[in-house]
Amino acid sequence: MANKTARVVRFHSVGGPEVLKIEEEPLPEPQKGEVRLDVQAIGLNRAEAMFRQGHYLETPVLPSKLGYEAAGVITAIGPEVDQKWLGKKASTIPAFLMTHYGVYGDVAVVPVTALAEYPEKLSPEEGTSIWMQYLTAYGALIVHAQIKKGDFVMTTAASSSVGLAAIEIIKAEGAISIAITRTSKKKSILKELGADHIIASEEEDFLARVKEITADKGARVIFDPVAGKGIELLARAAAYGGTIFEYGALAPEPTPFPLFTALSKALSIRGYTLREIFVDPKLTAKAQKYVFDHVAAGNFKPRIDRVFPFEQIVEAHRYMESNQQIGKIVVRI
């Protein structure tokens, strides 16, 4: 066992997908409070591309691993970890920093606090595709916004995995979803996946459509990972007393604060990350149960756009940056 090696993805400089390299290392052993997962599938997230580029909340320490989500079987545990985890199927929740852990590899050592069992009916590809997307949307829409029946809730980048998760949560809570996508190309699939209204922002009069859909009230909640100058338009589309959640920074330019619109509408504009729900273990457990129960019941169905073999991790990242996907990109070991 001591001579066994594992493949792991690292990058030695920040940059495009081509900086990702598959390397071999000795099989890692879990330390106190950690487990080793034999990885079967990896779920890709935009945060990982930003981390690889050096544009994320944390700066990578080179050479760096990366990756938040993996599903597999637990084959080793460290001290102070319950023996019951050995041999279990589980997936990781993103309750760690990529400066400390990364899951792109044959195996991944992660904190036991970042493990969750997923519904038995799911494949490893589906099991690795639930926690980041549903927990991210849950924290903003359920914990903070407390959306309710009849609320107009807008999601931008609606065809992303988090966007689709938000649409399902909005539907489950009886609210009305307004899905924003750039062109009409993805409209039909967004409708099929449950969006009540879809606006192609580059092809339609965005504000006129919002006014029409909401009977001039605007959206009470706006869930946006793009930021940038587009926030000024979102503020104009918001309802009086509404809230804009900024949970990403996909736009290449700085994000202005729409002061006069915010003043006139008593708007709340807040930064939000998934980490907020990991501060309180009780809240984390409640969030996990919400997602698990809805997935098990079939109300939430993670949509996998495309599966790549591990050897094509660079191509998988290139595809993620192309913005063609509708749902989750998965890498299979």
The residue from 237, 257, 275 where one domain ends is 275
Q: Do 164 and 177 fall into the same domain?
A: yes
* CA atoms within 13 A of residue 305's CA, in its CB half-sphere: 20
CATH number of 266's domain: 3.40.50.720
Return the ∠ at Cα 96 (arms to 91 and 98), rounded to 5°: 100
How much is the pLDDT for 212? 98
Q: Do 160 and 232 fall into the same domain?
A: yes
For 262, phi and psi rounded to 5 degrees? -65, -40
Q: Do 158 and 103 fall into the same domain?
A: no
In a domain, 284, yes or no: no
- The answer to whether the beta carbons of residues 187 and 198 sit under 8 Å apart is yes
The tens digit of pLDDT for each residue in 10-41 reads: 999 999 999 999 999 999 999 999 999 999 99
The tens digit of pLDDT for each residue in 111-121 reads: 999 999 999 99
260 pLDDT more than 60? yes
In a domain, 280, yes or no: no
242 pLDDT more than 50? yes
How much is the pLDDT for 1? 39
Burial 199-221 (b: 16+ CB within 10 A, else e): bbeeeeebeebbeebbeeebbbb
In a domain, 293, yes or no: no
Domain that holds residue 105: 5-130+303-332
The tens digit of pLDDT for each residue in 176-216 reads: 999 999 999 999 999 999 999 999 999 999 999 999 999 99
Q: Do 168 and 266 fall into the same domain?
A: yes
How much is the pLDDT for 209? 98
CATH number of 89's domain: 3.90.180.10
In a domain, 288, yes or no: no
Q: Do 37 and 73 fall into the same domain?
A: yes
252 pLDDT more than 70? yes
Instruction: Please give the average per-residue pLDDT across 78-98, as a whole number.
Output: 97
- What's the total number of domains in the chain? 2
Spell out the residues 6+ positions from residue 212 whose beta carbon is closer than 8 angstroms to its own.
Answer: none
In a domain, 281, yes or no: no
**Three-state secondary structure of the chain:** CCCCEEEEEEECCCCCHHHEEEEEEECCCCCCCEEEEEEEEEECCHHHHHHHHCCCCCCCCCCECCCCEEEEEEEEECCCCCHHHCCCEEEECCCCCCCCCCCCECEEEEEHHHEECCCCCCCHHHHCCCHHHHHHHHHHHHHHCCCCCCCEEEECCCCEHHHHHHHHHHHHCCCEEEEEECCHHHHHHHHHCCCCEEEECCCCCHHHHHHHHCCCCCEEEEEECCCHHHHHHHHHHEEEEEEEEECCCCCCCCCCCCHHHHHHHCCEEEECCHHHHHCCHHHHHHHHHHHHHHHHHCCCCCCEEEEEEHHHHHHHHHHHHHCCCCEEEEEEC
Q: Do 90 and 170 fall into the same domain?
A: no
In a domain, 207, yes or no: yes
How much is the pLDDT for 3? 52
The tens digit of pLDDT for each residue in 271-315 reads: 999 999 999 999 999 999 999 999 999 999 999 999 999 999 999
Q: Do 117 and 164 fall into the same domain?
A: no
In a domain, 204, yes or no: yes
Q: Do 248 and 147 fall into the same domain?
A: yes
- Token pair 């034999």 is found at 38
Spell out the residues 6+ positions from residue 98 whose beta carbon is closer than 8 angstroms to its own.
Answer: 48, 51, 56, 58, 60, 64, 65, 66, 67, 68
In a domain, 283, yes or no: no
The tens digit of pLDDT for each residue in 119-166 reads: 999 999 999 999 999 999 999 999 999 999 999 999 999 999 999 999
Q: Do 118 and 184 fall into the same domain?
A: no
Q: Do 261 and 145 fall into the same domain?
A: yes
Q: Do 150 and 271 fall into the same domain?
A: yes
Q: Do 199 and 217 fall into the same domain?
A: yes
